[in-house]
Amino acid sequence: MTRRIGVHVSIAGKIWESLERAKALGCNTMQIFSRNPRGWQAAEFDPSDIANFKKLKIAYDIAPVAVHIPYIINLATPVDGLYKKSIVAYVEDVSRADVLGIEYVVTHLGSHVGTGEDKGIERFSAALNQIINKAKPKTMILLENTAGSGSCIGYRFEHIKRIIDALDHPERVGVCLDTAHTFESGYDIKSKIGLEKTLKKFDKLIGLNKIKVVHFNYSLSELDSHVDRHQHIGKGNIGLAAMKRIINHPGLKSAAFILETPKNTDKDDKMNLKIVKGFIKK
């Protein structure tokens, strides 16, 4: 099986140019935004750009592709105006992913803004049901675990299980496991024993087969800090040996590994990708 390793790439210019960037970096999977991640407006794709995207995706064998939902969307908010606006924008993003033939939409789980985790999980689950029932997406929605800063939900595996269990169509939803967030939220994936314990717990609650993408991120923050800070591979607190164990773990062999490490230039992505590719056991 060909291992799928990539990074989050820019969509500047034409949407299909993101595939050119990924190819130039040596990626065979990637993540993008399909619009400005901090804005509500999204311009429609030109039909020729859609066609070029689909053509290059096949030609370059870049799959799966993941679209990350904009940061401004909050499906756990108690504010009705933002809640409704977030649902509309989410349906748009899922539809945009479908038009491009993209496999996954990755979503953060939002913030309950002080109303409590139970209420936040309830709001998120209800919103996701509305979105799936309305959009009927071909793309799979992936729930991303969080570091647990502020009033964010999703930093415990139990939160993700409760959301999936509340859905009318749980088969349309998978998981994006972020290694930095996992570590920062208190799961000890640094030690061999800790990694096995963490994945065993996830498997029991949700199932390792639900993990379709791994955000292969290094943490600048400490274990159980609940502070979301990514770092270049090898320059933070998880440890190179731990990252090597994670990417070679048999329970994660079918997942795509996508880096969201800091970048000032393409050289940063090339550096991190080279290290990660060196982890793979032949």
Q: Which residues are catalytic?
A: 38, 68, 71, 108, 144, 178, 181, 215, 228, 230, 260
Q: Is the CA virtual torsion 205, 253, 274, 106 positive or negative?
A: negative
- Residue 78 in contact with residue 45, Cβ under 8 Å? no
3-state SS class at 182: helix
Residue 34 CA to residue 118 CA, distance in Å, equals 31
Residue 184 CA to residue 147 CA, distance in Å, equals 5
Which of 60, 55, 36 has the alpha carbon at shortest distance from 100?
55
Residue 124 CA to residue 113 CA, distance in Å, equals 13
Name the residue type at position 35: R
Neighbouring C-beta atoms of residue 260, cutoff 10 Å: 17
